[in-house]
Structure 1
Amino acid sequence: MAPVPVFPIKVGHIDDVQELRKGKPTTIPERFVRDMAERPSLSPALSSSTTDIPIVDFSKLVKGSKDEVLQLANACEKWGFFQVINHEIEPSLLESIEKVSKEFFMLPVEEKQKYPMAPGTVQGYGQAFVFSEDQKLDWCNMFALGLEPDFIRNPKLWPTNPAKFSETVDVYSREVRKVCKNLLKYIAMSLGLREEIFEEMFGVAVQAIRMNYYPPCSRPDLVLGLSPHSDGSALTVLQQGKDSSVGLQILKNNSWVPVQPIPTALVINIGDTIEVLTNGKYKSVEHRAVTHKEKDRLSIVTFYAPSYEIEVGPMAELVDENNPCKYRRYNHGDYSKHYVTNKLQGKKTLDFAKIQA
């Protein structure tokens, strides 16, 4: 992840939500209280509603099902989000990554402080995308690591406690990388393109992992677990903790729709990079996280994107007189720097790439 100037959060002090929660405050610190227009609606109807977010059966894609490729195309075009079942990652590995992630967050704050999200990075423990003293904070603690290529790894940030943390993250990340590579093949097929086109284009793909821990919040109606945003990646893979509260919401037809966890499924979303490459046919979608009054929530997120060196722009096959070029060509590393040097504000970051009318 590219070094960039960021505002450091004083982890372990007033802005660490787990430490705040321990004090059982009767009021929410002003730093976390959202303006009225940003506050989540937590009506029972919204929180308990079932959704039509598509489900894609990976095993059917592998067997060459044309119907499942059409289902994938529909998911990418109409939703930008879908849940993948039968993805070939062992349930025991999903349990292991959840276990070591939760164990890390349950460590004393002094132990977690050994891996701070230092100024100029988006790796380590703390909060990312914070740039000013008066910026509202998310009700969330994060721990993020660069995985591939090797040069983005920072060995000093890889914990020795829990004992199996690093080993588990590496094994899990290799499996998720396979899922990403394969899904991009099927996404290419759904667009009528050669199935290897993305892998050939991406070079050595950049991969990072971020664990998000959302403690319960006494006033979930006043805070956000994670601010609304789209992802700068090509694909994002989200694992929702099996015992966690429902927290992920996506913006669909101007309404926030909750994503109900399916046991062992992975939630996949299209990132800004695929939106640009497909010239807007498949769009990244704004999403956020909300909190719960009594339950905590853990999520494990993998970001998969092209090499920083490659140039990104709409693919010629997806540009014609009916769908003229909507985005300029740019260096992906430049976009990554732009993304992590701006606070999360819906899809505003993508203005970087848009051709202005």
Structure 2
Amino acid sequence: MAPVPISPIKVGHIDDVQELRKAKTMAIPARFVRNMAERPTMGSTIPSSMDIPVIDMSNLLKGSRNEVLKLAASCEEWGFFQVINHEIDISLLERIEKLSMEFFMLPLEEKKKYPMLPGTVQGYGQAFVFSEDQKLDWCNMFALGVEPQFIRNLKIWPTKPIKFSETIEEYSREIRKLCKSLLKYIAIGLCLKDGIFEEMFGVAVQAVRMNYYPPCPRPDLVLGLSPHSDGSALTVLQQGQGSSIGLQILKNNIWVPVQPAPNALVINIGDTLEVLTNGKYKSVEHRAVTHMEKDRLSIVTFYAPSYETELGPLPELVDETMPCKYRRYNHGEYSKHYITNKLQGKKTLEFAKIQSENST
């Protein structure tokens, strides 16, 4: 059975960022204003050498050893990469963007028909909110569990916009194929059996979340999404065409903006792969910032093992030079732990660390 998390605090109308935007006020409610140490530094220049790697999926599918090595280096050195030539029809990417935007542009009363339900992170609203004094992100979310079937709550699959739900189905099938394929080549790059992750994961858990970031009159005071790593094995991010550049990843203690390549998908390593690779590949802290004039849409798919799967570092990746850093645990337990804690860097991964280990 799926783990049952604690209910997040429900967010009221005054904290719906689209409604705040409609009010056309320059004032930012106190619940959104970050402490000085958390605020984004606006206008900083990042060297072009800090661009995240781009992986050509067509080369992987042709069996290119160089592309496999490039993928392995991207996972180890960055934990993030973009994928081009991923074989997902561009028209499908355009449709999912269009319908996602149409959903967010619905009247609030319509979106409230699909509230983020108690005990889940599915529905419309803000996730990971557990106290009245917790700072809120400048973002509206709509999330759905997709696979396996039992995690779906069909009551919150929208009837508007028309064809929204069936497009989510089609999109999620294509993203699932991509994740399986990427995990195969990630395994090859680690000198493991190519099907090791698919066999281990069972019926993989898959969820999709759409994030909408309206323009913010004071982007220097807020965050679109708090810094965190993902609890998944892989995360696939589609950034809306024409959106402001908002995704940033933490590398060498510098927040690096991700410049989206045309028609590319951004992939990142989640906590699960960090554990399985015994820290060789690390999940990376990332966040979203806002823009004063432009809005931003992102569509995020989380791909993770079955809740029943027992996880721990793979024996092939543990030796005297790389001793075991993480304990064995049930993925369902970790999933419950992850979604019942606020986003706070990589703090949730402490759940899996062997107690004597102070760092990864």
TM-score with structure 1 setting the length: 0.98
Structure-2 residue corresponding to 1:5: 6
SS at match of 2:9: coil
Structure-1 residue corresponding to 2:272: 273
Q: How much does 1:15 deviate?
A: 0.7
- Note if contact 1:8-1:117 (Cα within 8 Å) is conserved in structure 2: no
- Note if contact 2:26-2:218 (Cα within 8 Å) is conserved in structure 1: no
The answer to whether the aligner puts 1:16 opposite 2:16 as a matched pair is yes
Q: How much does 1:261 deviate?
A: 1.1
SS at match of 2:268: strand
What is the rounded CA distance, in whole Å, between the counterparts of 1:102 and 1:205 in structure 2?
Answer: 28
What is the rounded CA distance, in whole Å, between the counterparts of 2:42 and 2:48 in structure 1?
Answer: 11
Listed as ranges, the gaps of 5+ residues in structure 1 are none
- Note if contact 1:6-1:129 (Cα within 8 Å) is conserved in structure 2: no
What is the rounded CA distance, in whole Å, between the counterparts of 1:264 and 1:99 in structure 2?
Answer: 15
Superposition pairs for residues 260-339 of structure 1, below 5 Å?
A: 260-339=259-338
Structure-1 residue corresponding to 2:32: 32
SS at match of 1:264: coil
What is the rounded CA distance, in whole Å, between the counterparts of 2:106 and 2:301 in structure 1?
Answer: 22
What is the rounded CA distance, in whole Å, between the counterparts of 1:10 and 1:251 in structure 2?
Answer: 29
What is the rounded CA distance, in whole Å, between the counterparts of 1:337 and 1:276 in structure 2?
Answer: 17
What is the rounded CA distance, in whole Å, between the counterparts of 1:275 and 1:153 in structure 2?
Answer: 27
Change (3 A) 1:24 1:50: farther
Structure-1 residue corresponding to 2:128: 129
What is the rounded CA distance, in whole Å, between the counterparts of 1:218 and 1:45 in structure 2?
Answer: 22
Structure-2 residue corresponding to 1:176: 175
- Note if contact 1:220-1:290 (Cα within 8 Å) is conserved in structure 2: yes
Structure-2 residue corresponding to 1:340: 339
Q: How much does 1:49 deviate?
A: 5.7
Superposition pairs for residues 164-243 of structure 1, below 5 Å?
A: 164-243=163-242
Listed as ranges, the gaps of 5+ residues in structure 2 are none
What is the rounded CA distance, in whole Å, between the counterparts of 2:8 and 2:89 in structure 1?
Answer: 39
Q: How much does 1:119 deviate?
A: 1.8
SS at match of 1:122: coil
> How many residues in Structure 1 have an aligned counterpart in Structure 2?
355
Structure-1 residue corresponding to 2:58: 59
Structure-1 residue corresponding to 2:350: 351
What is the rounded CA distance, in whole Å, between the counterparts of 2:91 and 2:42 in structure 1?
Answer: 33
What is the rounded CA distance, in whole Å, between the counterparts of 1:44 and 1:84 in structure 2?
Answer: 26
SS at match of 1:143: strand
Superposition pairs for residues 52-91 of structure 1, below 5 Å?
A: 52-91=51-90
Amino acid at match of 1:26: M
- Note if contact 2:9-2:132 (Cα within 8 Å) is conserved in structure 1: no
Displacement over 3 Å in runs of 4+: 48-51
- Note if contact 1:270-1:283 (Cα within 8 Å) is conserved in structure 2: yes
What is the rounded CA distance, in whole Å, between the counterparts of 2:313 and 2:140 in structure 1?
Answer: 36
- Note if contact 1:242-1:261 (Cα within 8 Å) is conserved in structure 2: no
Amino acid at match of 1:43: G
What is the rounded CA distance, in whole Å, between the counterparts of 2:307 and 2:113 in structure 1?
Answer: 28
**Deviation sequence 1:11-70 (CA, Å, 0-9, x none):** 4x1110000000011210000000000000012525x96732100000000000000000
Amino acid at match of 2:19: E
- Note if contact 2:214-2:296 (Cα within 8 Å) is conserved in structure 1: yes
SS at match of 2:31: helix
SS at match of 2:50: coil
- Note if contact 1:9-1:15 (Cα within 8 Å) is conserved in structure 2: no
**Deviation sequence 1:216-244 (CA, Å, 0-9, x none):** 00000000000000000000000000110
What is the rounded CA distance, in whole Å, between the counterparts of 2:330 and 2:8 in structure 1?
Answer: 25
What is the rounded CA distance, in whole Å, between the counterparts of 1:324 and 1:105 in structure 2?
Answer: 47
**Deviation sequence 1:291-344 (CA, Å, 0-9, x none):** 000000000000000000010000000000000000000000000000000000
Amino acid at match of 2:41: S
- Note if contact 1:8-1:118 (Cα within 8 Å) is conserved in structure 2: no
- Note if contact 1:51-1:257 (Cα within 8 Å) is conserved in structure 2: yes
SS at match of 2:45: helix
TM-score with structure 2 setting the length: 0.97
Amino acid at match of 1:177: R
Structure-2 residue corresponding to 1:93: 92
Amino acid at match of 1:301: V
Identity of aligned residues (%): 77
Amino acid at match of 1:24: K
- Note if contact 2:33-2:135 (Cα within 8 Å) is conserved in structure 1: yes
Q: How much does 1:178 deviate?
A: 0.1
What is the rounded CA distance, in whole Å, between the counterparts of 2:199 and 2:252 in structure 1?
Answer: 35
Amino acid at match of 1:130: V
